[in-house]
Amino acid sequence: MSAVATTARPRRVTARAIEGQELVLLGVLAVLWLVLSFAVDTFFTASTLQDLMAAVAPVAIVGVGMTAIIVTGGIDVSVGSAVAVAMVVVGQLVRDSGLPFLPAVAVAVAVGAALGLINGVLVAYGRVHPIIVTFATLNLYRWLAFQIFGGEEVNNIPGTLAALGGGAEGRTAGLPNAFLLAVVLAALMWAYMRYSPTGRHLYAIGNDAHAARLQGVRVTRRLVSVYVITGVMVGLAAVVFIGGGGRIGQAVGTGFELQVIAAVVIGGTSILGGRGTVFGTVLGALLVGTVSAAVTLLGWPSELTALFIGVFILVAVGVDLLRQRRRQSL
């Protein structure tokens, strides 16, 4: 009985092209952008919107993988530290060895995938709660990044990766390439989770991993895969950050995991697992980026960004809990 219910629920979730919470997010974004257009004369200028999309891109990219993790009932709080490791490794190689664009991207993806694999193996085979595992690796990866930094910042990085940065070199038809990459990756993950049997398995695992295993789902393999996928996204996000130019400081990536998780949760993915879409995550990332940009453009204290995002998270989690209770009462 429970196994049948478990497989039915994720199918109902994935059957809709767009969720109610995503429609609400679209409405909130529309209202917020309209208000900002009146409050700030420069908001709807090309440069402001390009900067907004460029800032949102790495959050949305890693959010693609984080959505899959949270749908399975897991979480990864180590992505900020993993980004730092990938950035310092690739940044030094580009600067010191003249590593070209494609090999640099490949190295970043490989580093991110390796770090994600460590998380996935520990979670899937160690049977330890993901937040404990990834909190531990958050600190381990940060320590590793410090060791690679060698006590110094990485400066004078050439523009090898500028094609994925936020500058003029990183745009196609006026849109940042990094944001276009985020949209493509989100579309691919959306199709995978909606139409692929293995993608739909992620929802079954989030609803009831034991029942999913009884139904023949390779739970361990699926869990490892979502952390590896997220690691790949971390590597791509690292490339985007490096492409933005400047220097790589030792505090890079600090707090990045909170932005990603906020985008996923605000986007409607249930923190309890079993429900969520990548489309909602992209909208959540846009909302987080818009709030941050609005606070800056309006000249308000930067601390208000965290306050507003925290309120959005509380509302999203509260709505999700109410929805879960209503389903259980039926």
Q: What is the 3-state secondary structure (H, E, C) of the chain?
A: CHHHHHHHHHHHHHHCCCCHHHHHHHHHHHHHHHHHHHHCCCCCCHHHHHHHHHHHHHHHHHHHHHHHHHHCCCCCCCHHHHHHHHHHHHHHHHHHHCCCHHHHHHHHHHHHHHHHHHHHHHHHHHCCCHHHHHHHHHHHHHHHHHHHHCCCCECCCCHHHHHHCCCHHHEECCEEHHHHHHHHHHHHHHHHHHHCHHHHHHHHHHHCHHHHHHCCCCHHHHHHHHHHHHHHHHHHHHHHHHHCCCCECCCCCCCHHHHHHHHHHHCCCCCCCCCCCHHHHHHHHHHHHHHHHHHHHCCCCCHHHHHHHHHHHHHHHHHHHHHHHHHHHC
In a domain, 52, yes or no: yes
The pLDDT confidence band at residue 13, using thresholds 50, 70 and 90, is: very low
- State the CATH number of the domain containing residue 59: 1.10.3470
Is 314 inside a domain boundary? yes
106-115, 185-194, 292-301, 312-321: which range is least confident on average?
312-321
Total count of domains within the chain: 1
Domain that residue 308 falls in: 20-29+41-321
For 183-232, what is each residue's pLDDT tens digit? Answer: 999 999 999 999 999 999 999 999 999 999 999 999 999 999 999 999 99
Q: Tell whether 220 is covered by a domain.
A: yes
- How much is the pLDDT for 17? 53
Q: Look at residue 280 and tell me if it is in a domain.
A: yes
Residue 2 located in a structural domain: no
pLDDT tens digits along 111-165? 999 999 999 999 999 988 999 999 999 999 999 999 999 888 999 899 999 999 9
Residue 326 lies in a domain: no
Average pLDDT value for the chain: 90
User: Please, which pLDDT band fits residue 11 given cuts at 50, 70 and 90?
Assistant: very low
**pTM for this predicted structure:** 0.92
Please check whether residue 46 lies inside any domain of the structure: yes
pLDDT digits (tens, 9 = 90+) for 262-285: 999 999 999 889 999 999 999 999
Query: 172 pLDDT band (50/70/90 cuts)?
Result: very high
